[in-house]
Structure 1
Amino acid sequence: MAKDRKHIIEFLDMMLINGSKLSAEEKLCSYKGVLYPVTICRPETLQALETFEAREDDVIMTGYPKCGTHWLEYILNDMSVMAVKYTEVEKKKRIKLERELEITSRLEFGDPGKFKRMENLPSRRIIITHLTPNILPKSAFKNKAKILVLIRNPKDTLASFFHFNNKVPTFPTKTWDEFFTDFMSGKVSWGSYFDFVKEWDKYIDDENVTSVTYEELKENPNLEMKRIATFLGYSLTEDEIQNIIEKSSFKTMKQNGQEILGTFGDLLFRKGFVGDWKMLLSESQNQEMDRKFEEHLTGTKLGERIKYDIYCKT
């Protein structure tokens, strides 16, 4: 177990233990009409989130569950370390402070007091979340924090979320057909995928907001990482970019999953390729998803970025 991840690993281990003790009906709570896993997202924490004061130099990355947030988080942290050129002493000091403050791995995870404790973190903070803009604190937009919106095609997101949902005791177990129905109606943790994309589409032209797609990051990591670095104002060499690509490959992250995230790491990384949805969706479910996408996201800028015809058509 990596010492610098101990507090996060302990938090995730407790999430798994507590989740296994709850009945299916007890595992989810509701906040503003959206479901959240009760063992890690308390309504009082979500309510207290409004008090969080974002900084202009914060990096906030948001992605719907199973769109690659752990992957991009790892990339962003590596970019920050390389761009700022932290010394070993500085890196250890930042890690020690995060551990002492008990900063959890997602903005909405943990206790309401975490937002006050986060004020003690030095800049530049890398903040990861699954939240829509209406739940994020207004300070994120008022203070023009850099926001990266991570998206993935809905069919692969659905397939990955289904497998994850049934492996992690934090969530109520569902059959494929049950989960498909809940996903399409937004009755899953963190709510509707379609609402997530549609709500973030309203902000995508803001100068401090950019989008990243799972598929493009996977297919052309060099180009995408350079684009992200430019957006964040980082100056990285070709060798540094290549180093990040190698360290953040799916194979490497899967191998290091337990060290990074403990037992949860073994549950998180499964296949990591594009097109896995073809193993699960029936013809009628494919057609239903096609209709849903056309109704909600066709004509939006983020909908266009998803390249639905390329990644979601058989």
Structure 2
Amino acid sequence: MVSSEEVVRKDLKMIHGHPMIHTFVFNWERIEQFQCRPDDIVITTYPKSGTTWLSEIVDMVLNDGDAEKCKRDVITAKAPMLEMADHGIRISGVEQLKKNPSPRLVKTHLPIDLLPKSFWKNNSKMIYMARNAKDVAVSYYHFHLMDRLLPLPGTWEEFLEKFMAGNVAYGSWFNHVKSWWKKTEEHPILFLHYEDMKENPKQEIKKIATFLEKKLSNDIVDKIIHHTSFETMKNNPMVNFTHMPSTVMDHSKSTFMRKGIAGDWKNYFTVAQNEKFDDLYEKQMSGSSLQFRTEL
């Protein structure tokens, strides 16, 4: 067991060419050797792209919209983060997953080449949700303020430079979304967009149900929409991360669920920052068919 002081606000460490949260890198073999089960469902995103929202939606779909069943445990136990390390503050993702009954939800932010090989061998179903880069950058900045496992972000301007250069945990947003998008050509991955989910949750939830071979009535889909709305989830202690100790997540700095909208970046980006970001975006995304909306 380690004390919280030994893991908070540490610099990132490189693992196979990717910057990673310091404490997660310890005993990386546990990730590489992880054995998935054939019916595991992988929920994968770049950080701050609606991961918790998607996890709760998938849990509701699997449980036929039964909100009481979905309150059986906190989201970090229902959909454990694979790479979460056992740092004396909470159980490791691998250990929690070993305890969970099938079909397991496996949450991860890992880039494609860090995901355990067993997932590819077993042809596991995966759901990837992508969010526009500008809103991700703003949300990730605020998350750094409150999540003490991450390094301090510095000013917004300083953090944005790091984000654009890929010098943040999990690396470049551009590489992450492009590689997962490319992988859909050869693996059963349902690729969703955060903005589509905000605009038309019914349509997107039906896509998830079809992908998971679940038949849900319109009434059940409506229940899922209500239960997983931003306001409902923000006030739900099972999913809003208030169960985490303040030594790890300091909700006085920023709430885990802050705004949950598309277009908040306009409140942060200066004209010069926006122009610089757009130039980088055009270079990084040229040649990719992947399209994003930055507002609704």
TM-score range relative to shorter protein: 0.7 to 0.9
Q: Percent identity among equivalent residues? A: 33
Other-structure match for 1:9: none
Q: Deviations over 1:240-289 (max 9, x none)?
A: 11111001110111112477522549431111111110111122221222
Other-structure match for 1:296: 284
- What are the within-5 Å matches in structure 2 for residues 269-284 of structure 1? 269-284=257-272
- What are the within-5 Å matches in structure 2 for residues 129-148 of structure 1? 129-148=108-127
Q: Secondary structure at the match of 1:268?
A: coil
Other-structure match for 1:125: 104
Other-structure match for 1:239: 219
Q: Deviations over 1:148-193 (max 9, x none)?
A: 1110000000011111111222222211111011001111111111
Q: Which AA in structure 2 matches 1:106? A: M
Task: Write the distance in 2 (CA, Å) between the matches of 1:87 and 1:18.
Answer: 33
Q: Which AA in structure 2 matches 1:170? A: L
Structure 1: tracts of 5 or more residues without a match: 1-13
Q: Secondary structure at the match of 2:112?
A: coil
- Do the aligned partners of 1:198 and 1:296 also contact (CA within 8 Å) in 2? no
- Do the aligned partners of 1:226 and 1:241 also contact (CA within 8 Å) in 2? yes
Q: Displacement, 1:132?
A: 1.1
Q: Displacement, 1:216?
A: 0.3
Distance change >3 Å, CA 124–CA 265, structure 1 → 2:
farther
Q: Which AA in structure 2 matches 1:206? A: E
Distance change >3 Å, CA 115–CA 172, structure 1 → 2:
closer
- Do the aligned partners of 1:147 and 1:209 also contact (CA within 8 Å) in 2? yes
Q: Which AA in structure 1 matches 2:80? A: S
Other-structure match for 2:81: 106
The counterpart of 2:60, out of the listed 78, 99, 106, is 78
Distance change >3 Å, CA 292–CA 270, structure 1 → 2:
same
- Do the aligned partners of 1:156 and 1:277 also contact (CA within 8 Å) in 2? yes
RMSD: 3.2
- Do the aligned partners of 2:42 and 2:125 also contact (CA within 8 Å) in 1? yes
Task: Write the distance in 2 (CA, Å) between the matches of 1:258 and 1:78.
Answer: 13
Count of equivalent residues = 282
Distance change >3 Å, CA 103–CA 32, structure 1 → 2:
farther
Other-structure match for 1:249: 229
Q: Secondary structure at the match of 1:62?
A: strand
Distance change >3 Å, CA 265–CA 226, structure 1 → 2:
farther
Q: Which AA in structure 2 matches 1:108? A: E
- Do the aligned partners of 1:258 and 1:265 also contact (CA within 8 Å) in 2? no
Other-structure match for 2:210: 230
Is the counterpart of residue 154 in structure 1 residue 133 in structure 2?
A: yes
Q: Displacement, 1:105?
A: 2.7
- Do the aligned partners of 1:107 and 1:127 also contact (CA within 8 Å) in 2? yes
- Do the aligned partners of 2:32 and 2:117 also contact (CA within 8 Å) in 1? yes
- Do the aligned partners of 1:254 and 1:265 also contact (CA within 8 Å) in 2? no
- Do the aligned partners of 2:55 and 2:79 also contact (CA within 8 Å) in 1? no
Q: Displacement, 1:43?
A: 3.3
Structure 2: tracts of 5 or more residues without a match: none
Other-structure match for 1:38: 22
Task: Write the distance in 2 (CA, Å) between the matches of 1:204 and 1:224.
Answer: 17
Q: Displacement, 1:215?
A: 0.4
Task: Write the distance in 1 (CA, Å) between the matches of 2:147 and 2:93.
Answer: 24
The counterpart of 2:34, out of the listed 52, 57, 67, is 52
Return the TM-score normalized by structure 1: 0.79
Q: Displacement, 1:50?
A: 1.7
